[in-house]
A = this chain, B = another copy of it.
Amino acid sequence: MFHHVKDLQFNARVSRPDPRFANLLLEQFGGENGELAAAMQYFTQAFGAKMPHPDKYDMLMDIATEEFSHLEIVGATIQMLLKGVNGELKDAADQSEIMQVMNGKAAKESIIHQALTANPQFGIITGGGVTPRNSQGIPWCASYIHSNGDLTVDLRSNLASESRAKLVYEHLMKFTDDPYVHDTLSFLMTREVAHYKMFEAALIDIQPNFPPGVLAADPRFTQQAFNMSNGTTVRGPWNEGEMPNMGKEWEYVADPIAYVKETQGITTTTDAYAKELKQTGKLDKEMSKIKSDEVISSEPEGVAQWSTYAEEK
């Protein structure tokens, strides 16, 4: 159950209207890396986590709720940046604005002109208000979010999401010189960093967490680094020396076309890995049992009930 507190988490203020920046800021209201995307991603992930991982559930719901609160901050800022637009639109019988907008003779500084230039829908669809679309009018879409029922995957999705959101706020800061707005953006940007660290700590708390999911890597296909392009070839830690934390060395396949022909599509290499394959199979069974039990044992028999309505201590 949610409860709304009328105060914003951060004291969002705006010095003067700025429809153009309002439009840019839509990216963080209804864009792919924005607050709605973050809130819905963690909220959705939380359902599956509740039974087997009540501690991670608590963290996911805390952060999801904070992101909803950030969504409100972003929306409030956009609304204040659009001050005047709705009032102008309501003055529906006034003909004077028409000349200004259409003839371009004057009043480029008029707020309605700025709004229409920044985003045509500010003038005709949203009525000078916020909307869950991005800076180019694309409606927010749930394919932006990832929730795959496995925390070793979900938490990595979240690290990536927070990284992107942080970068977008950094970019946005370049495009406003309103100190109040700048402060709000600095708050929002930094909270993404804080959440990154929370998700990182939670991921470390799960051991082992690699590879993501349950199954181990197939030893026959793990260490090849295929040189799939001709021209100058670059070697680096991603294709020579040791693989990070894997206890294996990269095997550089300089000519994949020849390699594939020789190995009949990488099917003739199995013998060399027979022993490793067996170990992997054993490991897979062990991990399956551990991970599967973790979930199944947490699920109640009989009628399932989500909440207990117990007294808080």
Interface string of A259-294 (1 = CB under 8 A from B): 011001111000000000000010011011101101
Given A5-B257, A24-B124, A98-B174; A305-B13 close (CB under 8 Å) = yes
Cβ-neighbour of A149 out of B31, B69, B86 (below 8 A) = B86
A50 to B7, CA, bound (A): 13
Report yes or no: B47 in contact with A15, Cβ–Cβ below 8 A: no
Q: Is A106 an interface residue (CB 8 A)?
A: no
A281 to B93, CA, bound (A): 8
* Beta-carbon contacts under 8 Å, A3-22 to B: 3-15, 18, 20-21
- Of chain B, the residue at the smallest CB distance from A65 is B228
Q: Which residues of B contact A130 (CB under 8 A)?
A: 44, 47-48, 147
Q: Which residues of B contact A303 (CB under 8 A)?
A: 13-15, 180
Interface string of A211-239 (1 = CB under 8 A from B): 11111011011111111111111101111
- Of chain B, the residue at the smallest CB distance from A135 is B120
What total of chain A residues lie within 8 Å of the partner, measured CB to CB? 199
Q: Is A201 an interface residue (CB 8 A)?
A: yes
**Integer count of this chain's copies in the complex:** 6
What are 27 pairs between A and B in contact, CB < 8 Å?
A: A1-B5, A1-B6, A1-B7, A3-B5, A4-B230, A7-B261, A11-B309, A27-B121, A62-B225, A91-B288, A92-B171, A93-B285, A119-B136, A123-B175, A148-B164, A150-B167, A153-B164, A163-B213, A170-B214, A183-B267, A193-B217, A194-B223, A196-B211, A197-B246, A201-B237, A204-B237, A205-B237
Report yes or no: A44 in contact with B129, Cβ–Cβ below 8 A: yes
Nearest Cβ on chain B to A89's Cβ, whole angstroms: 6
Report yes or no: A191 in contact with B125, Cβ–Cβ below 8 A: no
A31 to B124, CA, bound (A): 11
Q: Which of A61, A78, A84 has the most CB of B within 10 A?
A: A61
* Beta-carbon contacts under 8 Å, A147-181 to B: 147-150, 152-153, 156-157, 159-161, 163-164, 166-168, 170-177, 180
- Of chain B, the residue at the smallest CB distance from A180 is B303
Report yes or no: B93 in contact with A244, Cβ–Cβ below 8 A: no
Cβ-neighbour of A256 out of B1, B18, B20 (below 8 A) = B1
Report yes or no: B201 in contact with A222, Cβ–Cβ below 8 A: no
Cβ-neighbour of A65 out of B197, B200, B201, B229 (below 8 A) = B229
Interface string of A75-97 (1 = CB under 8 A from B): 11111100110111111111101
Q: Which residues of B contact A86 (CB under 8 A)?
A: 48, 149, 295
Given A202-B237, A218-B190; A92-B307 close (CB under 8 Å) = no
